[in-house]
Amino acid sequence: MDSHKKLLLANKAWAEEKLKIRPDFFSRNVETQQPEFMWIGCSDSRVPAEEVTGTEPGELFVHRNVANLVVHTDLNLLSVLQYAVQVLKVKHIIVCGHYNCGGVKNALTNTDLGLLNKWLRHIKDVYRLNRQEVESIADPALRLDRMVEINVAEQVHNLAQTSIVQKAWVTENRPVLHGWVYDIRTGLLKEVALMTPDTKLDDIYQFSFDLNGNH
Ligand code: CO
């Protein structure tokens, strides 16, 4: 059988199974969604957001890209973020990296990957900013683990530096930003960063809002 047909068959079985357990499993979510969480994860096939968090359709608003980056000029991510914060009014945003991330691993080398160089450059910038700590770790595997953690923390900061998040912090005291790392060796999540709405940001990045104005 063509391997893709297996997916379609599995889908039928999955839908039937869900309906057996809960007849309104699909119908309850048809009109609206009210997810409490936005998830920014890596595209890696080993880190399925819903599966590792035990969540069901309707619970996670998901954006995934190579190495779970929050790039402030990425219209795709920013559109998902704006919708999540301003329309869905999510309470939590989770940036989830994972150990043995190919994106982070490659960014630590000098390999030319063509177009990907431009995306991974953001991780090289994180490396440069934390060079002393990263290079103080002699073991290459441990060094990569730490870079994965630092990268996640940096992406959480990048989220906090957006006007979308800052405005919601000031006006609605949400969302809480979380940085997690998934361990593909154990299946467990580790918390590595947390920013609550009362976090004082570096004033270089803090916007002052005219809440009665037009912008
Ligand atoms: Co990855």
The CATH number of the domain holding residue 72 is 3.40.1050.10
Same structural domain, 137 and 79: yes
For the cut 90, the answer to whether the pLDDT of residue 1 exceeds it is no
Q: Dihedral sign for Cα 86, 90, 96, 102, please.
A: negative
Same structural domain, 121 and 157: yes
Residue of 84, 79, 22 lying closest to 56 (CA atoms): 22
Residue 53 lies in a domain: yes
Q: Dihedral sign for Cα 126, 131, 137, 140, please.
A: positive
Same structural domain, 22 and 59: no
Please give the mean pLDDT across all residues of the chain.
Answer: 96
Looking at residue 215, its pLDDT comes to 54
Distance of CA 66 from the midpoint of ligand 1 (Å): 6
Distance of CA 105 from the midpoint of ligand 1 (Å): 9
Looking at residue 211, its pLDDT comes to 76
Q: How many domains does the chain have?
A: 2
pLDDT tens digits, 40-98: 999 999 999 999 999 999 999 999 999 999 999 999 999 999 999 999 999 999 999 99
Same structural domain, 15 and 66: no
Q: Whole-angstrom Cα distance, residue 45 to residue 99?
A: 13
pTM recorded for the entire structure: 0.95
Distance of CA 3 from the midpoint of ligand 1 (Å): 24
> Which residues, chain by chain, have CB under 5 Å from ion ligand 1?
42, 44, 101, 103
Domain of residue 21 covers 1-31
Q: What is the mean pLDDT of residues 108-137?
A: 97
Same structural domain, 157 and 131: yes
Distance of CA 41 from the midpoint of ligand 1 (Å): 8
Residue 185 lies in a domain: yes
Same structural domain, 196 and 178: yes
Query: Which residue type is seen at 53?
Result: T
For the cut 70, the answer to whether the pLDDT of residue 213 exceeds it is no
Distance of CA 147 from the midpoint of ligand 1 (Å): 12
Give catalytic residue positions.
42, 44, 46, 98, 101
Q: Whole-angstrom Cα distance, residue 187 to residue 184?
A: 5
Looking at residue 210, its pLDDT comes to 83
10 Å CB burial of residue 98 (0-12, 13-18, 19+) is buried
Q: Whole-angstrom Cα distance, residue 161 to residue 4?
A: 41
Same structural domain, 64 and 25: no
What is the C-alpha R_g of the chain? 19
Same structural domain, 131 and 148: yes
Same structural domain, 9 and 47: no
pLDDT tens digits, 159-199: 999 999 999 999 999 999 999 999 999 999 999 999 999 99
Same structural domain, 181 and 90: yes
Higher pLDDT, 125 or 212: 125
Looking at residue 212, its pLDDT comes to 74
